Amino acid sequence: MLLQGKRFVVTGIASKLSIAWSIAEALHREGASLILTYPNDKMKKRVDMAAAAFNADLVLECDVATDESINDCFDKVREHWGNEKNGEAAGIDGVVHAIGFAPADQLDGNFAEVTTREGSQIAHDISAYSFVALAKASRDLLTQRQGSLLTLTYEGSISVLPNYNVMGMAKASLEASVRYLAASMGGEGIRVNAISAGPIRTLAASGIKSFRKMLDINEKIAPLQRNVSQMEVGNAALFLLSPWASGITGEILFVDAGFNTVAISEQLMQMEMSES
Ligand code: NAD
Ligand code: 0WE
């Protein structure tokens, strides 16, 4: 077991389909101890289910919209894991940030028409700044074990994808924060990385009208000619959070069946030629 005796805080579990569910599953499979977080009472039950499945030590409230909630949460993590106990070193080995949100009206329609100042502020606050906030709140605990931070991003930060809109801006900001945090915290031995996942049907995706079409087109462009699963992201996360990735920081690792490497696929070319 790769992560026996290691300790992780995992945010972003909303259902069994969540990418964070599969990351927690992979960490648990490799022997890690977990603390799971939820944003509000409505989501607590769902995270309790994950806690039972993965034998989590604690389930804590952490709404990344406020510093108070984040700090209360990490104060409790510190109470649990902040001191040496039975010969186990103090601190944590990693924090997983699997959180993204923009108001639904921002993700439906022409970018310059639907994007608002308020929608943009919410998207950036919840989807990008929150990663920096988690890094600040967990820094001392991560330092104690030379732990790492991991977040989830999407290709919409680099190239235009219909309706991703202001989330593309927020993910570009999030990816820049990965590099600045890596530089800022590298002196303490803390690593900071992101996984850029291909589209996956989760709760966050279920609100998107043309999501089915997105999945279909992805298959026609990606070199592997298929979409990726939550488990494939979970396994890549496990690697980045493990000692095997000790030389990797400030990195964006694509887990997208190769989609980002292709502009026009042979398959799209064939389809276009059979039409004319
Ligand atoms: P999901 O709906 O399962 O997870 C999103 C999570 O964000 C939920 O658990 C929700 O509770 C949490 N969240 C929202 N507001 C919050 C707040 N204020 N405080 C704390 N938590 C809050 O969907 P997912 O697809 O698993 O998303 C996880 C991450 O993966 C997101 O950052 C998303 O952008 C990213 N991602 C998703 C895909 C995809 O296609 N599903 C692709 C690439 C990247
Ligand atoms: O990052 C995401 C999900 C982003 C997201 C989704 C929602 C839906 C419900 C953020 N906020 C909300 N707010 C809601 O009210 N993904 C990478 C998945 C995703 O979302 C898309 C995609 C893909 C892929 C939106 C438009 C186009 C493609």
Cβ–ligand 1 contact at 234 (below 6 Å): no
Cβ–ligand 2 contact at 10 (below 6 Å): no
Measure CA 275 to chain center.
40
For 66: left if phi > 0, alpha if psi spans -120 to 50, otherwise beta; the answer is beta
Ligand positioned closest to the Cα atom of 207: 2
Cβ–ligand 1 contact at 204 (below 6 Å): yes
Contacts of 216 (CB under 8 A, 6+ apart): none
pLDDT one-digit tens code per residue, 163-205: 999 999 999 999 999 999 999 999 999 999 999 999 999 998 9
The pLDDT of residue 136: 98
CA dist 11 and 41 (Å) reads: 15
CA dist 145 and 190 (Å) reads: 9
Name the residue with the closest Cα to ligand 1, atom 9: 12
Distance 108 CA to ligand 2 centre (A): 10
Name the residue with the closest Cα to ligand 2, atom 14: 104
Distance 31 CA to ligand 1 centre (A): 24
CA dist 179 and 54 (Å) reads: 31
Ligand positioned closest to the Cα atom of 66: 1
Name the residue with the closest Cα to ligand 2, atom 25: 164
Cβ–ligand 2 contact at 208 (below 6 Å): yes
Distances in Å between the Cα of 192 and the Cα atoms of 60, 154, 198, 272 are 23, 16, 20, 42
CA dist 68 and 72 (Å) reads: 6
Distance 274 CA to ligand 1 centre (A): 39
Ligand 2 atom closest to residue 164's alpha carbon, by position in its atom list = 26
CA dist 95 and 135 (Å) reads: 8
Catalytic residue numbers?
154, 164
Cβ–ligand 1 contact at 14 (below 6 Å): yes
Give 110-174 as a DSSP string.
-HHHH--HHHHHHHHIIIIIHHHHHHHHHHHHHHHHT-EEEEEE-GGGTS--TTTHHHHHHHHHH
pLDDT one-digit tens code per residue, 89-116: 999 999 999 999 999 999 999 999 999 9
Distance 272 CA to ligand 1 centre (A): 35
Instruction: For the chain, give the longest Cα–Cα distance.
Output: 72
Distance 11 CA to ligand 1 centre (A): 9
Ligand positioned closest to the Cα atom of 98: 1
**Taking 80 as the threshold, does the pLDDT of residue 276 lie above it?**
no
pLDDT one-digit tens code per residue, 142-157: 999 999 999 999 999 9
What's the whole-model pTM score? Answer: 0.98
What is the residue type of 85? K
The pLDDT of residue 209: 83
